[in-house]
Amino acid sequence: MKTPIVIVNFKTYPEATGENAVKLAQAISEVSEQSGVAAAVAPQAVDIGLVAGKVGIPVLAQHVDPIKPGRSTGWISPESSKAAGAVGTLVNHSEHKLPIDQVAGVVARAKEVGLSTVACAADMKESKRIAEIAPDMIAVEPPELIGTGIPVSKTKPEVVRDSVRAVKDVNPRIKVLCGAGITSGGDVLKAIELGAEGVLIASGVVRAKDQRAAIQDIISGVVRSQKR
Ligand code: G3P
């Protein structure tokens, strides 16, 4: 996945479930194409096939399990996500935390299957720990700011700056994103100025009255950063 990137996590919001997931993904895809800014979407597992068939931008799973296909009833195999059209997966999101050995297991299995990984971390310390596992991207998201509209990039800039530094010290190939409370292009611009290579965002786009206007504003932050 190309960076800088805006990844929109649909979580389980009704505004981004089923047909709403398709409509929102199409709007994000159109704005991404018009602006030339990379974007990706992470719908619920059951919506991956529906969404991936309708958009050209990368579709990510929100989670996969570190299991081999076969006798694993109720678990989500990386293979099934890929077959449905996902090109990558989030892992260890604050709302779906895993022990570190399982994060490593997901990253390893995703690699075997050819899925990119975006591992979430709560702070600089966890970002550093996860960097040792070498996912493709790490998204640092202080849990207390998630869904609040209080942007990490402006409220806790040190978390973004320090996480970027810590991850790059371990492995400069890992891309570092940030998220939590991001709702405007200005929040995104600030994140990029702090060294982030993109954002992971949910409510600011998904729950907006006008989802298309919201993603346009978010993406304008990346465009502004590229003009500096
Ligand atoms: O995965 C994105 C996320 O947890 C941030 O959520 O609603 O604060 O943009 P939100």
pLDDT at 133 (0 to 100): 98
pTM of the model: 0.98
Q: How far is the CA of 148 from the centre of ligand 1 (A)?
A: 9
b/e map of 145-156 (b: 16 or more CB within 10 Å)? Answer: bbbeebbbbbeb
**Interatomic CA distance for residues 228 and 212, integer angstroms:** 25
Average pLDDT for 105-114:
98
Is 15 designated active site?
no
The closest-lying atom of ligand 1 relative to the alpha carbon of residue 95 is 4
pLDDT at 156 (0 to 100): 98
Which of 28, 200, 211 has most ligand 1 atoms within 8 Å of CB, for mutation? 200
Given a cut of 90, is residue 228 above it in pLDDT? Answer: no
Q: How far is the CA of 179 from the centre of ligand 1 (A)?
A: 6
pLDDT at 189 (0 to 100): 98
Closest residue CA from atom 2 of ligand 1:
201
Is 63 designated active site?
no
DSSP 211: H
The closest-lying atom of ligand 1 relative to the alpha carbon of residue 183 is 9
Which of 11, 24, 120, 144 has most ligand 1 atoms within 8 Å of CB, for mutation? 11
Condensed to tens digits (0 to 9), the pLDDT of residues 41-67 reads 999 999 999 999 999 999 999 999 999
pLDDT at 147 (0 to 100): 97
Given a cut of 90, is residue 159 above it in pLDDT? Answer: yes
Active-site choice (15, 33, 79, 141): 141
Q: Can you give the residue range of the structural domain that contains 97?
A: 5-226
Distances (CA, A) of 31 to 5, 17, 23, 40, 214: 13, 20, 13, 11, 10
Q: How far is the CA of 69 from the centre of ligand 1 (A)?
A: 30
Condensed to tens digits (0 to 9), the pLDDT of residues 1-31 reads 999 999 999 999 999 999 999 999 999 999 9
Q: How far is the CA of 55 from the centre of ligand 1 (A)?
A: 22
In percent, how much of the chain has pLDDT > 90?
99
Given a cut of 90, is residue 184 above it in pLDDT? Answer: yes
Given a cut of 90, is residue 178 above it in pLDDT? Answer: yes
Task: List ligand 1's pocket residues with C-beta within 6 A.
Answer: 9, 93-94, 141, 146-147, 179-182, 200-204
Q: How far is the CA of 34 from the centre of ligand 1 (A)?
A: 24
**Interatomic CA distance for residues 186 and 171, integer angstroms:** 28
In percent, how much of the chain has pLDDT > 70?
100
Query: Domains in the chain: how many in total?
Result: 1
176 pairs with which residues across the strands?
A: 138
Placement of tokens 């720990």 in the chain: 129
CATH of the domain at 191: 3.20.20.70
